Amino acid sequence: MFAAALAVVFAASVAPAAPVGVSVNGVELDSGGSGDVGWTYVSPTLRLTNAGPFTISGENTTGAVRVVVAAGVTSEVTVSNLTLMVATNSTLCVFSLETNAVVSLFLAGTNTLTSGNGRAGLEVAGGRTLSITNAPGDDAGTLTASGGEGGAGIGGNNDNACGTVTINGGQIFASGRGNYGAGIGGGRNGAGGTITINGGTVTATGARHGAGIGGGYYYQEVGGTVTINGGVVTATGGRNGAGIGGGGNGQGGTVIISGGAVTAQGGTYGAGIGGGQAGAGENVTISGGTVTATGGSGGAGIGGGSYSGAGGNVTISGGTVTAIGSSNAKDIGPGNNGTVSGANIFTGGSIRLGASLAFHAPSNATEQVFCATLTGFAPNGPVTLTGLGAYGVNDIYADGDGCIYLWLPNGTHTFQANGNARTVTIANGVGPTGVMVRRRNRLSGGSSCWMEF
């Protein structure tokens, strides 16, 4: 009799199985456990174990669902109006890839992933591979991914570098929260991994000490390799982090830009593109696209972070580039009070320097080049140049004042700009009196800019 009464009491104390608000391929997850071909759910873990395809939909904000793609699995996953969140004191990640997992992620509708302390919003640590694009027919497919304290928005968790992340489409909003994590890239103590953006609209914001895109915080961790071939990219570093490159105390890594519209804003003490606080710029190569890089307090536009972060090697062969350093920092070169820098090789493009400060003086790898400012173009309109030989003319646009900025060696250069003949003569870095109508601040190395009509 006692045993029977105890059984009744126990049965009454156990909550009945119930849906948790999320479905996989139309099958609802059940708190009592559920599954189908290629997936199982045992609260709180939804484990994907084969290629799929899987479509995950619904909402759970109590931490009862976290998606895990099993080790070694290559899988196709669509998130469709999916919201997964955990409590702020949780240490769970709501979507993670295990070792050697490879995931093609498609975005349908509006999706939100918010993880707990130490974890990335969408966790892609070293040895994992993720590609993201919009679902077919849904150009507005959106993902908002937020890491917890120490975790990246997309990438590494606390003490982890980022793996390989490729973005081909969709609207992506990725941010570290609190401290240490990059928007896209490394978590605390984590390097930036390999990040490629081919399309879409990407907004990445670092937590305090984290880069917008690149490394998380810690001494000498690097920004990894960031390649941008297209899309609209806005990267903002947290305090001490670069817009694109290193987190606090981190080196800039390798940044390669061949297309797209890129805006990189360093956090306080970080470079726009390059090093975080005290970090060197390392290697930046630009061959196309429209790039605006602005340093935070003491940071270079492109190059080193504040507190004497060394400038890196900057090679520009095309595109429209605006680099703006903060006070006491170079537009291109080291951070404030820094005296160490790599080479600046300018062989093409329209390159505007906010205060005309570059260190070392730019060259085309053979001889020094000097800035000639040409006016009279439609503001923000495209400019087609012919007749400049090997000078790179890809993706050149006038600025808001209708100007372009060419970097040419001593000599007379005759060419066509939007079908109109132009001639620029440079002798020892100075244009002839008849065309010099306005001097700009002097570049290090004794060169100057002038206005040429």
Which residue, 395, 392, 350, 349, is CA-closest to 373? 350
Per-residue pLDDT band at 448 (split at 50, 70, 90) = very low
> At residue 292, does pLDDT exceed 60?
yes
pLDDT in tens, 423-445: 999 887 765 433 333 333 333 33
pLDDT of residue 15: 53
pLDDT digits (tens, 9 = 90+) for 103-135: 999 999 999 999 999 999 999 999 999 999 999
Highest mean pLDDT among 200-204, 250-254, 278-282: 200-204
As a whole number, mean pLDDT of residues 403-411 equals: 96
pLDDT band for position 450 (cuts 50, 70, 90): very low
The owner of tokens 């997936």 is: 39
Q: What is the pLDDT of residue 219?
A: 52
CA distances from 285 to 87, 163, 317, 448 (A): 42, 22, 8, 23
β-sheet with 411-417: strand ranges across: 385-386, 411-417, 420-426
The tokens for 250 are 């981190």
Q: What is the DSSP string of 241-288?
A: --SEE--TT-B--EEEE-SSEEEEE--TT--SEE-STT----EEEE-S
Q: What is the pTM of this model?
A: 0.92
**Residue range 23-46: mean pLDDT, rounded:** 96
Residue 215: per-residue pLDDT? 94
Checking if the pLDDT of 357 tops 60, the result is: yes
92 pLDDT higher than 70: yes
